[in-house]
């Protein structure tokens, strides 16, 4: 049996960060990853980075083949960079699937080869996997893909169906529409983007449809099957036929391969590993970070989990999950839709004393310079405390501007500060001056 100070299971953002930092702090560290294609984790290999690379390639009007080649080159480069980074930090990278034998013993399996590893500190960072909902034929029909498979197509589908109208589904809808597919989104929900400001959700739907994407809401799928190479989606309202179908029905914590039944590690009803404010599981010395612990499924949340665990292991433990503040999000539509905090409806439902204001991008000088008048800004503020309650930015560059708001909210800077802030010109950010005048 090989003995380490720290074993990390999974090469995700939190895992690789902790492995490198703890190794540099003098610990003997092993990182176990079952797939060389996932060095660096989901984001770099099958998530944020490849999809955004494809979006940029599509916006440059590259062909489908050129866009895929560009994506593959970027992924290969960053995959190798992550592997080399850990090797330079003297981390033992073990290519194998990890399963628990007991609380502090892991069996690493690679084909017929098996070896046992043990450590007083074990960090689980196995991420999330596609949630396959029980629709007859979904798992067995040809030309049906999850968000990973849809990135590996060799030919552009002429007709692409997207099952699910959440972040993943809509981002791929916009991407493949730009690449040249005829895209149809089928969403079971009756309301489009229910967690967004309703007025801005309506704008987003309008723009997607103007771009040529068909969106059907309240669609209940009963079966998926093939007619030759076609994918047939059978619903309560009729059939839809596609050359390929993407199902984007969410992701769930990836715990199944871990054999947690052999340990005292508890999981929730939804399959997430239970953790405390230090990301420690119900087994002392075993931690779960990133998507696997049931938190928000974002790379930057995984990174923040790493800060929490490092503070506990190598610091004074003062930074915990309880210290996490406001979390910005961005949906990479055209234009991007970024938001943080409460919507107006949520503020009203909480009974807060609030005011809300919305401004169309079309009234902003920089938008005319950019020749892109689509989008809107919206702010919700507390009229008594002067705190910013929430902001939605639907515009080119929103993914960058939202971080300005995050800093302000985290530091409780009153919204009135923005009315006097000096911004460079001409920019879209300078319109925050006017957004916060109530």
**What pLDDT digit, counting tens, does each position of 90-148 carry?**
999 999 999 999 999 999 999 999 999 999 999 999 999 988 889 999 999 999 999 99
- 135 within some domain: no
Q: Detail the DSSP E strand segments found in 236-353.
A: 238-242, 244-247, 251-253, 286-288, 329-331, 337-341
Shared-domain flag, residues 282 and 239: no
Q: What is the pLDDT at residue 122?
A: 98
Shared-domain flag, residues 235 and 151: yes
DSSP single-letter state for residue 260: G
- 386 within some domain: yes
Structural domain range at position 352: 329-435
Distances (CA, A) of 176 to 61, 216, 305: 12, 17, 33
Q: At residue 269, what are phi and psi to the nearest 5 degrees?
A: -60, -25
User: What percentage of the chain carries pLDDT values higher than 90?
Assistant: 94
Shared-domain flag, residues 118 and 78: yes
Shared-domain flag, residues 22 and 156: no
CATH number at residue 227: 3.50.50.60
Note whether 339 and 406 are within 8 A (CB). no
- 283 within some domain: yes
**For the chain, how many helices (H) and strands (E)?**
11, 22
- 204 within some domain: yes
Band (249; pLDDT cuts 50, 70, 90)? confident
Structural domains counted in the chain: 3
> CA-to-CA distance for 164 and 133, rounded, in angstroms?
11
Q: What is the pLDDT at residue 131?
A: 87
Shared-domain flag, residues 125 and 256: yes
> CA-to-CA distance for 42 and 65, rounded, in angstroms?
23
Region 165-185 average pLDDT: 96
The interaxial angle of helices 198-210 and 167-179, nearest 10 deg, is 20
Q: What is the pLDDT at residue 222?
A: 96
Shared-domain flag, residues 257 and 125: yes
Look over the chain and give the mean of its residue pLDDT values, rounded to a whole number. 96
- 43 within some domain: yes
- 138 within some domain: no
Which residue of the set 216, 220, 368, 425 is catalytic?
Answer: 425
Q: Residue 100 contacts by C-beta under 8 Å, 6 or more apart in sequence?
A: 106, 107, 258, 259, 260, 262, 263, 265
Alpha helices in 180-291 (DSSP H): 198-210
Active site residue 220: no
- 136 within some domain: no
Closest CA to 342 of 357, 326, 321, 358: 326
- The pTM score is 0.93
What is the phi-psi region of residue 135: left when phi exceeds 0, alpha when psi lies from -120 to 50, beta otherwise?
beta
Band (393; pLDDT cuts 50, 70, 90)? very high
Residue 23 in tokens: 């190794």
What order of strands is seen across the sheet that includes strand 388-394?
329-331, 337-341, 388-394, 376-382, 354-360
CATH number at residue 354: 3.30.390.30
Closest CA to 122 of 109, 107, 137: 107
What are the pLDDT digits (tens) for 293-339? 999 889 999 999 999 999 999 999 999 999 999 999 999 999 999 99
């Amino acid at each position: 049996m090989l003995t380490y100070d720290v074993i990390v299971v999974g090469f995700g953002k939190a895992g690789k960060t902790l492995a490198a930092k703890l190794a540099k702090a003098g610990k003997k560290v092993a990182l176990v990853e079952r797939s060389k294609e996932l060095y660096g984790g989901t984001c770099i290999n099958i998530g944020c980075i490849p999809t955004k690379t494809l979006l940029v390639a599509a916006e440059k009007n590259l062909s489908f083949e050129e866009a895929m080649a560009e994506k593959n080159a970027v992924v290969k480069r960053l995959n190798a960079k992550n592997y080399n980074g850990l090797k330079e930090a003297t981390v033992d990278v073990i290519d194998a699937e990890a399963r628990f034998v007991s609380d502090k013993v892991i069996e690493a399996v690679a084909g017929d080869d098996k070896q046992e590893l043990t450590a007083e500190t074990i960090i689980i960072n196995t991420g999330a996997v596609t949630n396959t909902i029980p629709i007859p034929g979904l798992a067995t029909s040809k030309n049906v893909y999850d968000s990973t498979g849809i990135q590996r197509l060799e030919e552009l589908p002429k007709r692409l169906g997207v099952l699910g109208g959440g972040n993943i589904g809509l981002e791929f809808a916009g991407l493949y529409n730009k690449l040249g597919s005829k895209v149809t989104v089928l969403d079971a929900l009756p309301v489009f983007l229910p967690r967004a400001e309703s007025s801005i959700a309506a704008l987003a739907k309008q723009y997607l449809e103007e771009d040529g994407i068909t969106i059907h809401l309240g669609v209940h799928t009963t079966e998926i099957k093939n007619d030759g190479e076609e994918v047939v989606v059978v619903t309560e309202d009729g059939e839809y036929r596609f050359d390929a179908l993407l199902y984007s029905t969410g992701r769930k914590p990836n715990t199944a391969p871990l054999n947690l039944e052999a340990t005292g590690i508890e999981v929730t009803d939804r399959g997430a590993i239970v953790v405390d404010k230090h990301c420690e599981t119900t087994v002392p010395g075993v931690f779960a970070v990133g998507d696997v612990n049931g938190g928000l499924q974002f790379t930057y949340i995984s990174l923040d989990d790493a800060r929490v665990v490092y503070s506990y292991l190598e610091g004074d433990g003062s930074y915990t999950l309880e210290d996490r503040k406001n979390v910005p999000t961005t949906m990479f539509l055209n234009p991007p839709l970024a938001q943080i905090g409460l919507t107006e409806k949520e503020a009203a439902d909480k009974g807060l004393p609030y005011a809300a204001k919305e401004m169309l991008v079309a009234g902003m000088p920089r938008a005319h310079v950019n020749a892109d008048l689509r989008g809107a800004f919206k702010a919700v503020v507390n009229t008594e405390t002067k705190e910013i309650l929430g902001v939605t930015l639907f515009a080119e560059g929103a993914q960058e501007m939202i971080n300005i708001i995050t800093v302000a909210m985290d530091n409780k800077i009153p919204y009135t500060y923005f009315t006097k802030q000096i911004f460079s010109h001409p920019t879209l950010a300078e319109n925050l001056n006017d957004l916060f005048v109530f």
